[in-house]
Structure 1
Amino acid sequence: MARLIVTAHRNGKSSVGLDQSIPAKPFVSVPGFDPTLIWGTLATPSVPWDGSNVAAGGRTVLPDAGGTKLMKVTFPPDSVMTSSDFDPAAAGAEYMSRLPGLAEQFEPESPGMHTTDTVDYGILMDGEITLELDDGKAVALQPGDIVVQNGTRHAWRNGGSRPATLIFVLIGARRRNA
């Protein structure tokens, strides 16, 4: 289980303001898929830390322009979604419930493909995964690889036999006309 440590100021000195475990909460309808929203900041964060976490109880998992969200996502092998007992309707409902704001960005006609108004820093921590782009390019990642995803249409594909875990920092952006 992962752990979250947040520093703070106490009596003019740096201290630990929060030290807690980050529990796994995998989807029921997509076994092994575990997206965990960990932390968030406003567009203009302030220090010292005031004890709040923008990620807690928000209307969307996506940050507002200039804000940030920190997520840990474990992707199961794609075979989970292609198995005969996979229920796409149940998965869709769970996505809408657990990932508001992001779930609506997924394209029903192209499963997994989505576009968000964010700059995402993604770091593959464990496993192997492929970043698929809409120009047909597929980029295979190994642990330690880093992706800077600039609001482009993309999908994550796990063609392997074991889960892949990524850490994402999402930075809210304003989309301009290209």
Structure 2
Amino acid sequence: MTSTGIRRVVTGYGPDGRATVVSDRRVASISPDQGDKWSIWSADAPVSFPDNGTPPPFRGPLLPAPGGFHITVFTLPPHFDPDTMWGTDDPAEREKLFEATIDPDTHPILADPNPYGYATTRGSSALHATASIDCLMQISGESVFVLEDTEIRLQPGDWLIVNGVPHSCRNDLDRPAVLVGTVIGAHHSGIPLRHPDRTE
């Protein structure tokens, strides 16, 4: 990754039926929210071959339709903590402020039936779930993925699979955290109501 973007080389079939390079260019970053993101390749449905390497239809910018995929690289800025963005220490108020910033066209998140402030982990004011399986690998730096009452600290080489559960993230270090991911669009029947006393 450089200031000029990430190099992406795309192959396909030429008119003569031979495999060929159809594109070799730098992909610029986009920033629909905190931190730079690079959209590498995506589709809203399973693809069929042979094809000429033209980018498939993708609704974007982040979440594919069920059966589709999105390969992306993204960063978390140094010391990124959603809880510090809202100017209040009230967890319920922070969650409300976070939800008010969501654009459903760019970030189609699921409605959460649980009461505001039910989560206890630092960074939980940005908990959200999407109809997707997010397969993420830490490339450099460290990131902390936040569940309702659990933290998962990722170091370079670690993978995390987010199976449509409410999650958020932090970066506790003074350098960017860089991750690569494949987001797979999925069907989701909705976030279940949390039962704090249920253990089975």
TM range (shorter): 0.7 to 0.9
What corresponds to 1:120 in structure 2?
A: 134
Q: Secondary structure, in 3 states, of the residue corresponding to 2:78?
A: coil
Q: CA deviation at 1:105?
A: 5.3
What corresponds to 2:7 in structure 1?
A: 3
More strand by share: 1
Whole-Å separation in 1 of the counterparts to 2:187 and 2:143 = 28
Within the candidate set 75, 100, 111, 2:106 is matched to 100
Instruction: Quote the sequence identity (%).
Output: 27
Within the candidate set 12, 18, 23, 2:23 is matched to 18
Whole-Å separation in 2 of the counterparts to 1:4 and 1:172 = 22
Equivalent pair of 1:59/1:101 in contact (CA under 8 Å)? no
Whole-Å separation in 2 of the counterparts to 1:37 and 1:106 = 26
Whole-Å separation in 2 of the counterparts to 1:116 and 1:159 = 24
Q: CA deviation at 1:9?
A: 1.1
Q: CA RMSD in A?
A: 3.1
What corresponds to 1:34 in structure 2?
A: 36
What corresponds to 2:120 in structure 1?
A: none
Cα distance change, pair 111–80 in 1 and its aligned pair in 2 (3 A): closer
What corresponds to 1:175 in structure 2?
A: 188
Question: Where do 4+ consecutive residues of structure 1 move more than 4 Å?
Answer: 104-110
Q: Deviations over 1:112-166 (max 9, x none)?
A: 21101101110111110111111x1111111111111111111111111110111
Q: TM-score, normalised by structure 2?
A: 0.69
Q: Secondary structure, in 3 states, of the residue corresponding to 1:111?
A: helix
Question: Which runs of 5 or more residues in structure 2 are unaligned?
Answer: 88-93, 118-123, 193-200
Equivalent pair of 2:142/2:155 in contact (CA under 8 Å)? yes
Cα distance change, pair 154–83 in 1 and its aligned pair in 2 (3 A): closer
What corresponds to 2:154 in structure 1?
A: 141
Residue-pair matches, total: 165
Whole-Å separation in 2 of the counterparts to 1:125 and 1:59 = 23
Within the candidate set 50, 53, 57, 1:54 is matched to 57
Whole-Å separation in 1 of the counterparts to 2:66 and 2:55 = 19
Cα distance change, pair 39–131 in 1 and its aligned pair in 2 (3 A): same
Whole-Å separation in 1 of the counterparts to 2:189 and 2:110 = 18
Whole-Å separation in 2 of the counterparts to 1:24 and 1:60 = 12
Query: Which has the larger Rg?
Result: 2
Question: Which runs of 5 or more residues in structure 1 are unaligned?
Answer: none
Equivalent pair of 1:38/1:70 in contact (CA under 8 Å)? yes
Whole-Å separation in 1 of the counterparts to 2:11 and 2:36 = 26
Q: TM-score, normalised by structure 1?
A: 0.76
